[in-house]
């Protein structure tokens, strides 16, 4: 599993659209707070591989390492537990 | 915009994985409660068109009409406002 603190540091790159709190800042960007970790890892990896495409996310995800993906998923999953 | 009550009725088909409350019942299924409506509409339409692929969702989405998509997005967006 990922490192929540490292994920929080990396999440500054995501915050303009998804919020550092995981709450969407743009209608087309999903909320991420409390999302299941497995889903977040799959979404990022699908954008990295090209299996899933989105103009912004395909570009952003290409900059991420395996560790970044794990850490970001751990961080956003940890937020806003309901 | 969609009809929340009609969306709730249709959501019985989604509830085994995403919950009638929009909270995931399986690690690989995302939470939907309070998700942005625009994102939910795009996700369902991308599964319908084949732009986005997932074994379960590609099958489920094919059964949906444009009205179903609008209603389901309205319903799940309406839940769990944070």
CATH topology of domain B4-78: Cytochrome Bc1 Complex; Chain D, domain 2 (1.10.760)
Contact A36 B31 (CB under 8 A): yes
pLDDT(A51) > 70: yes
B27 touches chain A (CB under 8 A): yes
* Confidence band, pLDDT 50/70/90 cuts, at residue A82: very low
Contact B34 A31 (CB under 8 A): yes
How many angstroms separate the CA atoms of B24 and B57, rounded? 14
Residue A80: the pLDDT is: 78
Residue B41: the pLDDT is: 98
Residue window 38-57, chain B: list those with CB within 8 Å of chain A.
38-39, 42, 51-53
Share of chain B above pLDDT 90, in %: 94
How many angstroms separate the CA atoms of B70 and B4, rounded? 9
Mean pLDDT of chain A: 94
Residue A81: the pLDDT is: 59
Tokens read off for B51 = 């732009």
Average pLDDT over residues A33-62: 96
For chain B, report the end-to-end CA distance as a whole number of angstroms: 20
Exposed/middle/buried for A4, CB within 10 Å: 0-12, 13-18, 19+?
middle
Residue B1: the pLDDT is: 84
Average pLDDT over residues A15-34: 94
pLDDT(B81) > 80: no
Q: What residues contact residue B6 under an 8 Å CB cut-off, 6+ apart? A: B67, B71, B75
Which of A82, A42, A61 minimizes the C-alpha distance to B33? Answer: A82
ipTM of the complex: 0.78
pLDDT tens-place string over residues B14-53: 999 999 999 999 999 999 999 999 999 999 999 999 999 9
The per-residue DSSP string of B14-73 comes to: THHHH-TTS--SSTTSPP-TT--HHHHHHHHHHHHHTSS--HHHHHHHTT--HHHHHHHH
Contact A28 B35 (CB under 8 A): no
pLDDT(B77) > 90: yes
Q: Which residue is listed with tokens 């999953």?
A: A77
- Domain range summary for chain B, segments of one domain joined by +: 4-78
Mutate to test the interface with A, among B23, B39, B51 (most CBs of A within 10 A): B39
Shortest CA distance from A37: residue in chain B: B27
Shortest CA distance from A33: residue in chain B: B31
Contact B39 A30 (CB under 8 A): yes
Mutate to test the interface with A, among B26, B30, B37 (most CBs of A within 10 A): B30
Shortest CA distance from B26: residue in chain A: A36
pLDDT(B82) > 50: no
């Amino acid at each position: 599993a990922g490192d929540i603190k490292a994920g929080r540091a990396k999440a500054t790159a995501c915050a303009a659209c998804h919020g550092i709190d995981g709450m969407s800042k743009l209608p087309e960007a999903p909320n991420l707070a409390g999302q299941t970790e497995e889903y977040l890892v799959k979404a990022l990896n699908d954008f990295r591989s090209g299996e899933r495409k989105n103009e912004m996310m395909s570009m952003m995800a290409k900059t991420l390492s395996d560790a970044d993906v794990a850490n970001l998923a751990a961080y956003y999953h940890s937020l806003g537990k309901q």
